[in-house]
Amino acid sequence: MSTIDKIKQIILNKLYLGKTMKEDLSNKPKISLFEGWKKKNVAKRMLKISKFDIEKSRKGNIDINIKTNINLIKSIGLKNFTYLDVGCGVGSYAELFKILLPKYKIEYMGVDYSKEAISFANRKFKYDNSKFRTADMQKLPFKNKTFDVSCSSSVLPYALNYSKAILELSRVTKKYVLITRISVTDGKEIYQKQKAYGSEWVCTLFNESKLKKRFREYGLKIIKEITIKKVDFERTEKSYLLKVIK
């Protein structure tokens, strides 16, 4: 990253990402804390950061998490497919696909439970091959096996009931599911209170064995498992490519 871009990133993070915080909770959090992403102006702040990610991608300076998702999609071997982005936020992947996968024909559908986020997505990133709508990942408004590929990128940990979310991803998908940028532990499942974008919410750090059991129960077979980074001796950030087998 150039010096100018590094400075710009620092300024954007200070202005829009804002003060960040992570705190492990000893008790199960209130349901209201799972709604933090819906708070007013969160999506507006996210849009500023997302636009800079797009700008950097055009220069070839691709964020590690975006790069991981793109490489997983390339590894599938499909170049013409329907794609569901669950928890799409402001919809920036509709633009990123045009930049990073220009020879691919992708019919893109983005859903998010934040009406504000979907409003920005429809204004900023709606193209002939992209659509957006408000929806909850625990109850997706699509028929069985509607999409060739579905993705939950850094979103599954914020679901109130992540088992329902995994089941829904499996249900609406024909071929492959990407579940990326999630934290897993070797020990117990952890609820973590987080703060960013001027709001706060709860993130689940999954017990990896339990998570993989859910994958198997819902007809998903792990094809690729990528370690993004080791957070500490017990926690690891990972991404998974899963094949729908039933």
- Per-residue pLDDT, 8: 82
Q: Taking residues 75-80, what's their average pLDDT?
A: 96
Q: Which residue has the higher pLDDT, 13 or 135?
A: 135
Mean pLDDT of the chain: 93
pLDDT in tens, 152-185: 999 999 999 999 999 999 999 999 999 999 999 9
pLDDT in tens, 180-213: 999 999 888 999 999 999 999 999 999 999 999 9
Q: How far is CA 19 from CA 176, 194, 196, 197, in A?
A: 36, 10, 6, 8
Q: Taking residues 98-110, what's their average pLDDT?
A: 97
Q: Which residue has the higher pLDDT, 7 or 99?
A: 99
pLDDT in tens, 24-35: 998 888 888 888
What percent of the chain clears pLDDT 70, i.e. is strictly above it? 100
* pLDDT band at residue 12 using 50, 70 and 90 as cut-offs: confident
How many helices (H) and strands (E) would you count in the chain?
7, 10
Q: What tokens were used for 8?
A: 């710009």
* pLDDT band at residue 15 using 50, 70 and 90 as cut-offs: confident
Q: Largest alpha-carbon pair distance within the chain?
A: 49
Q: How far is CA 217 from CA 52, 60, 199, 210, in A?
A: 39, 39, 34, 11
Q: Is the per-residue pLDDT at 88 higher than 90? A: yes
pLDDT in tens, 125-134: 999 999 999 9
- Per-residue pLDDT, 114: 96
Q: What tokens were used for 220?
A: 């998903």
Between CA 169 and CA 177 the distance in angstroms is 7
Strands (E) located in 46-146: 80-86, 105-112, 130-134
What percent of the chain clears pLDDT 90, i.e. is strictly above it? 80
- Per-residue pLDDT, 1: 73
Q: Is the per-residue pLDDT at 147 higher than 90? A: yes
SS3 76: helix
Between CA 212 and CA 19 the distance in angstroms is 33
DSSP H/E element including 206: strand 199-207
**Phi/psi of residue 44, nearest 5 degrees:** -60, -40
DSSP H/E element including 119: helix 115-124
